Amino acid sequence: MIIADIAAALAVGILSGMGVGGGGLLVVYLTVIRNMPQIHAQGINLIFFICASVSALSIHLKKRKIDVKLAITLSAAGIIGSFPGTFLARILPGEVTSKIFGIVLLLSGIITLYRLHLKKKRISDAHKKR
Amino acid sequence: MDNNKNNKTRALFRLLPIIAAGAGAGFINGLLGSGGGIVLIFAYSFIVKKKRSSKDNFATSLAVMTPVSAVSAIMYYLKAGADFSGAGKFCIAVVIGGIIGAYLADRIKSSTLTAVFAAVTCIAGLNMLFK
């Protein structure tokens, strides 16, 4: 079981290190395969995200230009916005949160596929013009 | 006097989309334990006038969501009784995975992988919806 956990976390870490994305799938693994309650899975995902982003920022993103003023404003707003979010996460039953999570996953998957399709179309149109 | 008022109003109007984007990202992240970064990256085209590289936006969204997630994690632990006991092995695995991923990113074409990942995400979403 522990080996499966580590393998899953490794896979998700690789995907997010490549920029393909990953946190959502960790929650799916924890709830669907390990039968963890939604709130615990989401909590572990938060910790996971903090580790992933600290390592990414300190290793290969440290040369990136970050607009500090914007980042601080967004962080402050984000922290304030997080309180109603975590409150809802606490009071809503796990089944409801899990369904909302499913909808967001579905939407993000569809949007990603659509954007890839647009990108491909743009590239093939550019080729045709030649 | 009036000019001063106008400038302040304009500054507020410029600030509102930023606050809305940040609060929205924080809300989703708090509710679902994930996803704030996606909201921010989506919102960048509306709140930032100068076009910046997507890697800079990605880095900024990570930088923004880290403290937000930390606060949410604390709230989850204190108020929602979340159990972090298994988290240690995940943290180590994700850091190692991230290093491997960053190494692979320059060597593997990402669009195919992204498409596969997006398809898997859709299936996972459907699974969670209908389970």
pLDDT tens, A34-67?
899 999 999 999 999 999 899 888 887 777 888 8
CB B55 within 8 A of CB A123: no
| Burial tier of A117 (Cβ tally within 10 Å: 0-12, 13-18, 19+) | exposed
Summary mean pLDDT of chain A: 89
Q: Which of A44, A51, A39, A1 is nearest to B98 (CA)?
A: A51
Q: Mind listing the pLDDT tens digit for each residue in B91-109?
A: 888 889 888 888 887 777 7
A46 touches chain B (CB under 8 A): yes
Q: What is the greatest pairwise CA distance in chain B? A: 62
Q: Which tokens is B102 given?
A: 């960053």
Q: Which of B20, B26, B70 is nearest to A80 (CA)?
A: B26
Query: What parts of chain A have a pLDDT lower than 70?
Result: 130
Nearest CB partner across the interface for A18, out of B80, B101, B122? B101
Distance CA A16, CA A5 (A): 16
Contact yes or no for A81 and B30 at CB 8 A: yes
Question: Tell me, what's the ipTM?
Answer: 0.89
Stated pTM of the model? 0.88
Q: Which tokens is B93 given?
A: 């695995």
Q: Give DSSP secondary structure letters for A90-118.
A: HHS-HHHHHHHHHHHHHHHHHHHHHHHHH
Tell me how crowded residue A7 is: count the other CB atoms within 10 A of its CB: 13
Contact yes or no for B121 and A108 at CB 8 A: yes
In this prediction, residue A61 carries a pLDDT of: 79
Residue of B128, B129, B131 to mutate when probing chain A, most A C-beta within 10 A: B128
What amino acid occupies position A52? A
| Burial tier of B37 (Cβ tally within 10 Å: 0-12, 13-18, 19+) | buried
Chain A partners of B67 at a C-beta cutoff of 8 Å? 75, 78-79
Q: Which of A111, A115, A53, A99 is nearest to B37 (CA)?
A: A53
Contact yes or no for B27 and A15 at CB 8 A: no
Helices (H), B33-86: 36-47, 54-79
Residue of chain A minimizing CA distance to B112: A116
Q: Assign B2 a pLDDT band (cuts: 50, 70, 90).
A: low
